[in-house]
Amino acid sequence: MRKLWFTFGAIVFFLTVAIFFPFYTIAFIIFGKRAVRPLVWCSHKVVSRIVLGFMLIRMRVHGRELIDNQRNYVLVGNHQALIDILLYAVATPFSFKFLAKKELTKLPFFGYVVQRFCIVIDRKNAASRKESFKNMKQALAEGFSIFIAPEGTRNQMDQPLQKFYAGAFRLAIETQKPLLVLTLTHSGELNNPRKKMDLSPGVVDCYFDVPIETEGLTLEDVPELEAQVRGVMLGHLM
């Protein structure tokens, strides 16, 4: 039944993206880059909600009142399941740009969206990593928030968290932007990362904590900042 539900969820996801695809294309043709911000909002608050609704996946969001929607953040979250991307988008009260793996650009329809709404990175290519870091800084300067999964990929281990990459913490410090930590619990139970086709209806808890200010910090503070974020996440996962 879980494999059947995964198949149903995948069909809903790609069908929903395909339905919105012509509107996105027309908006880009007419408005160019000016269409990015409203279309990102539509993807996060409309498309993602529709897909999760059909999957019968509900969320309980905690700590949303701690967020100042007038600021932009470097947003970090733990990552277990494929559905996490939808959960991040719906749970967060503002829209943002994802740091996305290059492989996602190859998916039909969705790849088009990723290329235009996300900052794409090829983790195996040093030049790509450098360029993506530059693009994230530019997006923050333009008023966007940036979402990065510091684990880099889905956690398929027994431990609640994998080793963190330093990029998110370097970015927050170099731009002096606050870090906003989002922790998801139970998403891996609904969409097991160890199985290729696995999905079940259910409830995911999403926890926001008090934003961590980085003003005055230097790159020497990266390890301490990383440890602080890990401690916040583990506080909800353990």
So what's the pLDDT on residue 84? 95
**Please, what is the Cα angle at 36 between 180 and 46, to 5 degrees?**
70
Q: What is the pLDDT of residues 126-175, one digit of tens each?
A: 888 888 889 899 999 999 999 999 998 899 888 999 999 999 999 999 99
The model's pTM is 0.89
- Judged against a pLDDT cut of 80, whether residue 111 lies above it is answered with no
Q: State mean pLDDT over 94-100.
A: 86
Please tell me the distance from the alpha carbon of residue 21 to that of residue 127, in angstroms, as a whole number: 31
* pLDDT tens-digit map of 191-231: 999 998 999 999 999 999 999 999 999 999 999 999 999 99
Residue 128's pLDDT is 82
What is the rounded average pLDDT for all residues in the chain? 91
Q: How far apart are CA 77 and CA 148, in angstroms?
A: 7
pLDDT mean over 94-123: 80
> Can you give the pLDDT at residue 129?
83
74-77 vs 179-185, strand pairing mode: parallel
* Whether the predicted pLDDT of 53 surpasses 80: yes
Closest CA to 154 of 124, 190, 182, 193: 193
Q: Is 149 exposed, middle or buried (0-12, 13-18, 19+ CB in 10 A)?
A: buried
